[in-house]
Structures are given as C-alpha cells and as structure tokens.
Amino acid sequence: TITFSTTDPARFITSIYVDPSNPHHAWLSYDGYNANTVQPGHVFEVTRTGSTATWVDLTYNLQDLPVTDLVRDDQTGDLYAATDFAVWKLPSGGTTWSLAAGGMPMVEVAGLTISSSARVLYAATHGLGGWKLNLP
C-alpha cells in the first residue's frame, strides 16, 4: 500500500537524496514559493517506518527560497542546497543555513554534485559556468 503525505508542499520536487545506509531515510527539496500552496517548506527529511513516514521541515532560515537541488555530504552529514541566489549549507544537526562558502556565485545554481573521494562539491550555475568547493 502506498501512502501519500499530507505534509509535503504541493509543488515540484527538485531532488530526492536517499541515505546510502538506510533506504527508508531521505531528504527532499522543493521548488516554487510558499504562497502558492498551503504547506510551507523547501527542504524536508523523511523517515519511513512501516507504512508511515515522518516529515521534518529543515527549511529553517531559508524561509521562502526555492531549492533547485539538494545533496548531502555522507562523511559529515552536512546538507547543501542550490537556490536561485546561491549555495547554502546546513551543518549536520544544525538549524541555521549559511552560505556554503565565500566566493561562490550569487546566482541561480541549477545542480550540485559531491565527489566524496575527492572531497569536492561541484555547482552548476546559470551563466557563470561550473564552480567547485573543497569540502573539509
């Protein structure tokens, strides 16, 4: 039986990042603006247990900033969100998003990729090419 959530926003899902150590645990990001739906939020952590799922809104201070992509650094647990205005980082266990790094572009970032072996985050921008950020 498939159960649909009443917690998620009725907007376009831009990414689903599944926990490599638990297929019943994932992070989802949403595009669009909160004003267009009843349910606010752009980044959620979802954990399924049996036939139910727990949704935790991790949007925090991103407020109503659409997220175009979301990746997780599996070594640190940090989340990285691509938005129309920059790349943001949520440290593992944290509740405050901050810019991923100084010098990263303040433009639309359409996609993110992490190379765990190289410890690099790649960001694909609109009009300013590709960028990379060395991860700790």
Question: Residues with Cβ < 8 Å from 98, sequence gap 6 or more?
Answer: 88, 89
Question: CB–CB of 86/113 below 8 Å?
Answer: no
Residue 2 confidence (pLDDT) above 80: no
Q: Give 122's strand partners.
A: 113, 132
Question: Residues with Cβ < 8 Å from 4, sequence gap 6 or more?
Answer: none
Distance (Å, whole) CA 1 – CA 48: 13
- Greatest extent of the chain over all pairs of C-alpha atoms, in Å: 47
Q: What is the DSSP letter of 123?
A: E
Q: What is the DSSP letter of 104?
A: S
Give the global pTM: 0.91
Distance (Å, whole) CA 136 – CA 56: 26
Q: Average the pLDDT over 33-59 and give the result.
A: 90
Task: Please tell me whether residue 52 adopts helix, strand or coil conformation.
Answer: strand
Residue-wise pLDDT tens digits, 98-135: 999 988 878 999 999 999 999 999 999 999 999 999 99
